[in-house]
Amino acid sequence: AQSVAQPEDQVNVAEGNPLTVKCTYSVSGNPYLFWYVQYPNRGLQFLLKYITGDNLVKGSYGFEAEFNKSQTSFHLKKPSALVSDSALYFCAVRVFSGGYNKLIFGAGTRLAVHP
Amino acid sequence: EAQVTQNPRYLITVTGKKLTVTCSQNMNHEYMSWYRQDPGLGLRQIYYSMNVEVTDKGDVPEGYKVSRKEKRNFPLILESPSPNQTSLYFCASSPPTGGADGANVLTFGAGSRLTVL
């Protein structure tokens, strides 16, 4: 079955330290992968996507993600975390189902950045 | 400003009392979709619409209805709400979902928190 998994419910990191939020996927064919962020009382916002090309994708707010085909992973990273990065992060993969393309979302990972 | 607007943002209702959550987008997007967000389950798709008068079921459509009479509006209707429909609901839109670049970059509304007693 096609799916996306975020193995950590919560990630805690100190401000200024690097952060990683993990995502693994299972799809047939070449994956289209996305990261979205949800701040409190807000809708989800697009961060970045991988379609093809360079395995390291850069996105908004200094975030980047590394596509690893052999490990079927698309981990979100940032070199130096900010308290304002604290939010809920969703990984998503595009699948072809029922005759159209749709996104399947992971369960989400809550990132807490401590001062 | 390009946006998706949902109303109401918060609603407490009782079992069986019909309600409608409205969704409107100003980006002339063809594709619109409703999701519900529940702890530990992420976002699950309820219904989607590829264009005006074209709607179809998502993964969890039971107990919901939608309509798409105009391109900008995509209301979610709960004919007889039940407590298991207590959730956070999101409407989203995007350009057509076919193709590569730009496909499936969804714009989300701010969410509607619904409580059914």
The pLDDT tens digits of the residues spanning A32-81 come to: 999 999 998 888 999 999 988 889 999 999 999 999 999 999 999 999 99
Cβ within 8 Å, pair A107-B40 = yes
Question: Residue B99: its pLDDT value, please?
Answer: 53
Q: What percent of chain B has pLDDT over 90?
A: 78
Token digits of residue B103: 């496909």
Note the pLDDT of residue B95: 83
Amino acid at A13: V
Q: How many cross-chain Cβ pairs, A to B, lie less than 8 Å apart?
A: 60
Mean pLDDT, range A83-108, rounded to an integer:
87
Bridge partners, A36 (sequence order):
A46, A90
Asked whether the beta carbons of A62 and A69 are under 8 A apart, the reply is no
Q: Does A90 touch chain B (CB under 8 A)?
A: yes
CA distance A110 to chain B (A): 11
Q: Is A23 on the interface with B (CB under 8 A)?
A: no
Contact B42 A44 (CB under 8 A): no
Cβ-nearest to A94 among B41, B45, B104? B104
The stretch B40-52 carries a mean pLDDT of: 91
pLDDT digits (tens, 9 = 90+) for A3-41: 899 999 999 999 999 999 999 999 888 889 999 999 988
Positive/negative CA dihedral, A108, A113, B3, B4: positive
DSSP string, B33-92: EEEEEETTTEEEEEEEEEETTEEEE-S--TT-EE--SSSSB--EEESS--GGG-EEEEEE
State the pLDDT at residue B102: 47
**pLDDT at site B55:** 93
Q: In whole angstroms, give the CA distance from residue A53 to residue A74.
A: 14
**Record: contact A44-B106, CB cut-off 8 A:** yes
Give contacts of A36 with chain B, Cβ < 8 Å. Answer: 106, 108
pLDDT at B104 (0 to 100) = 65
Q: What's the whole-number average pLDDT of chain B?
A: 91
At residue B97 the predicted structure's pLDDT band, cuts being 50, 70 and 90, is low
Question: Over 90: is that where the pLDDT of B101 sits?
Answer: no
Residue A46, SS3? strand
Mutate to test the interface with A, among B104, B107, B108, B113 (most CBs of A within 10 A): B104
Length of chain B: 117
Contacts of A105 in chain B (CB under 8 A): 35, 42-44
pLDDT for A11 equals 98
Residue type present at position A25: Y
Give the span between the Cα atoms of A82 and B106, in whole angstroms.
Answer: 25
For position B28, what pLDDT does the model report? 92
Phi, psi of B111, deg, nearest 5: 100, 150
Closest-CA residue in chain B for A41?
B110
User: Do A43 and B50 count as a contact with CB atoms less than 8 A apart?
Assistant: no
Strands A3-5 and A56-58 come out as: unpaired
Q: What are A34's strand-pairing partners?
A: A49, A92
A59 in B contact zone (CB under 8 Å): no
Q: Is A94 on the interface with B (CB under 8 A)?
A: yes
Tell me whether strands B31-38 and B42-51 are parallel, antiparallel or unpaired.
antiparallel
